[in-house]
Structure 1
Amino acid sequence: MNTDILKRNHVRVTGKGRQPIVFAHGFGSSQVAWEQVVQVFGEDYKVILFDYVGSGNADKSAYSSERYHSLHGYAEGMIEVCKALNLKDVIVVGHSVSGMISMLAAGKEPGLFRQLMMLAASPRYLNDTGYHGGFDQENIDGMLDMMEKNFNEWAKYLAPVASKNEDRPELALDFEKQLLSNDQTIAREFAEATFLVDLREELKYTEVPVVVMQPSDDTVVPHEAALYLAEEFPESELVILKATGHNPHISHPEEVVKYIKKYIAVEAV
C-alpha cells in the first residue's frame, strides 16, 4: 500500500464490504460532495473517496501544470489511487468531468475496472457541427477570463447556474463556497482541461459497461450530450433522473442512490 499516494489524494476508505466503489468528484468540488450518497453503501461495500490533486484537501504541493494540463493526468491519478489500495474490479461513480476521467482510466487499465457510472457527464462541452454540447467558444473564453480576473464573481455567477434549484438557495451558496475554496490558478487550469476537451472519438473504445445518469434539467450538460454519450458507448444504460441541476448527488441524493443500487454491476458481498 502506497501511503504517499493515499496522503497526496486525501484518500478515505470506509465500509464493511469487499466490492470497491470509488466515488470521484467533479470540477470545482471535492469528496465532501458525496457525503449524502456514500453513507448508504457503507454497510455492504468498500467505499473509497479521494480528492484530485489541487482539489479539496489533497496535497496542493503535488500539483503540476505539466501533468494536469489534460484529463489524462487526472486519470493516471485515479489509477494510482486504486493501485495504492490494491483494488480489483473497481466500480467508479464519477460526477461530471469524472465520468470522462474514469473512461480514460479504464482505457489505460481496462482490467482494473468492472463498471463506470457517470453522473451528469459530457464528452464535449463545446457545440460543434451536428453536436450540441451546451456552450459556444465565446462562453468558455468568457468563463476562463472571468476566473482569471475576478475569481469571486466567477464563483458567484456559476454556483446558481449549476445548482439550478432556485427554491433552495442554500445549494448555490454551498457550491459557491466549494468553488471559492479552490486555488485560483489550479482551478482555471482544471477548467481548461474540462471545458475544452473533446473525447467523443474515445467513447467507442470503452471496454467496461457504463451507466449514464442524467438530471432531467441540467444547465451544464444538455440532454443531447447525455444521449450522445450513451449511444456511443459499446455497452451502456441511460437513466434520466428526477432531479434538476448539475449536482444531483447533493440536491437529490435519494434519486442518485436509487439508480446506483438499481444498476450496480454486482450484488453487495
Structure 2
Amino acid sequence: MSGMNDHGDRPEKAAILLKGENMTASHRNNVKVLGNGERTLMFAHGYGCDQSMWRHVYPSFTDQFRVILFDYVGSGSSDSSAFEKTRYSTLRGYGQDVLDIMEELDLHEVHFVGHSVSSMIGALASIQYPDRFASLTMIGPSPCYFNVGNYVGGMERADVESLLDTLESNHISWSASMAPVIMGNPETPELAGELEASFCRMDPFLANHFGRVTFLSDNRADLPKVTVNTLILQCQKDIIAGIAVGEYIHACLPNSQFVLLNATGHCPHLSAPKEVVKALQAFLN
C-alpha cells in the first residue's frame, strides 16, 4: 500500500494484521489510496485484470473523492502467497478481501465500482455489511454466465466448461484467443493486446481457479438482498454480459438504475472511459 495519498495524508487508521496471517490487507491486495475528498470511491477490477485498468477513469474523481485501488489475490501486484483455495472457492472469499480493506482503512459509506465479476463480489460484500457501502456501480455485470431455464446468461453450461478446460490446458492460447472477443472494438487492437498481456501475467493455476469461480458462479438468488443504491452500466454489444443480463439485474435489484452506454465490448473503462466517467459522475452527484 502507498503510505500516503496524493496530498501527503496518512490513512486515518493504522494497518491491522489479518487473523492467522502475517500480513495486512493493504499489502496482500496492493492497496493504493489517492485523492483527498471526504467521500470514498473504491474501484475493483474484473477477471484477469488489475487496478491499472482504471487509469483512464479514476483521475476524474481524485479532486472530490478519496480513491481506493487494489488487486485481488492472484492478480496484478497482489501477494499470491496469501491464496487459500478454501477461502477463494466462491466469490464471497474475494468479497471478504474487499471488506478486509474497508475494515483496515476504517472505510464507511463507500461508493464501490466493480467491473464484470467485481459487480457480484461487491454485491455480496454489501449484503454482508451494508453499512460499509453508500452505493454500487456495476459495469458489465452478470450473476450467472450460462443459460438456466428461462434465464439467458449468454452461454450454455457445456460451452463454459469447454472454455475453462482450454484455459486450464493452455493458458497462453486461451488468453490470445479470448482477449479480442472479450474486449471487442477490433478497430483498436492495442486494447485487446493489453488485455491479453494482463491475462498472461497471471499465474496459470490462479488464473484457472479464479476463472472457474467466476464463470461457474450463480448469484441470481442474491440479487434481491442488495439494498444499496446501484447503477448498472451496460454496453450495447457485450459478448460476456448482454443487454438482457443487465436488464435482468435491474429488475431484481430494488434500488437500481440502468444506463446503456454508447460503447461496445466488455471493458468500456478502457475502450470508452469518457462514457463511464460521465455516467458515474451523474450517478454520484
CA RMSD of aligned residues (A): 0.8
Q: Report Cα offsets for 1:201-235 as digits up to 9, x if no partner.
A: 11111111111000111011011111000110011
TM normalised by structure 2 equals 0.92
Number of aligned residue pairs = 265
Q: What is the SS of the residue equivalent to 1:244?
A: coil
Q: CA deviation at 1:166?
A: 0.8
Q: What is the SS of the residue equivalent to 1:239?
A: strand
Is residue 237 of structure 1 aligned with residue 250 of structure 2?
A: no
Q: What is the SS of the residue equivalent to 2:89?
A: coil
Q: Report Cα offsets for 1:35-91 as digits up to 9, x if no partner.
A: 000011111110000001111100000011111011010001100011111111111
Q: Which deviates more from structure 2 when the two are superposed, residues 133-142 or residues 28-37?
A: 133-142
Is residue 154 of structure 1 aligned with residue 167 of structure 2?
A: no
From 206, 219, 223, the equivalent of 1:203 is 223
Cα contact 1:132–1:222 (8 A) shared by 2: no
Cα contact 1:29–1:55 (8 A) shared by 2: yes
1:224 and 1:49 map into 2 onto residues whose CA distance is 30
Q: CA deviation at 1:147?
A: 1.1
Partner of 1:48: 68
* Structure 1 unaligned residues grouped into runs of 5+: none
Partner of 2:49: 29
Partner of 2:15: 2
Q: What is the SS of the residue equivalent to 1:191?
A: helix
Is residue 118 of structure 1 aligned with residue 131 of structure 2?
A: no
1:84 and 1:54 map into 2 onto residues whose CA distance is 20
Is residue 67 of structure 1 aligned with residue 95 of structure 2?
A: no
Is residue 246 of structure 1 aligned with residue 259 of structure 2?
A: no
From 139, 149, 160, the equivalent of 1:129 is 149
Partner of 1:164: 184
Q: What is the SS of the residue equivalent to 2:239?
A: coil
Q: What is the SS of the residue equivalent to 2:42?
A: strand
Partner of 1:76: 96
1:174 and 1:27 map into 2 onto residues whose CA distance is 14
Greater RCO, CA 8 A, separation 6+: 1
Q: Report Cα offsets for 1:111-165 as digits up to 9, x if no partner.
A: 1111000000011101111111011112111111111111111001110001110
| Letter paired with 1:178 | S
1:122 and 1:149 map into 2 onto residues whose CA distance is 25
Q: CA deviation at 1:2?
A: 2.1
Q: What is the SS of the residue equivalent to 1:211?
A: strand
Q: What is the SS of the residue equivalent to 1:114?
A: strand
Partner of 2:7: none
2:104 and 2:74 map into 1 onto residues whose CA distance is 19
Partner of 1:97: 117
| Letter paired with 1:238 | F
| Letter paired with 1:64 | E
Q: What is the SS of the residue equivalent to 2:227?
A: coil
Q: What is the SS of the residue equivalent to 2:236?
A: strand
* Structure 2 unaligned residues grouped into runs of 5+: 1-13, 17-23
Is residue 140 of structure 1 aligned with residue 140 of structure 2?
A: no
1:86 and 1:120 map into 2 onto residues whose CA distance is 29
Partner of 2:243: 223
1:141 and 1:88 map into 2 onto residues whose CA distance is 38
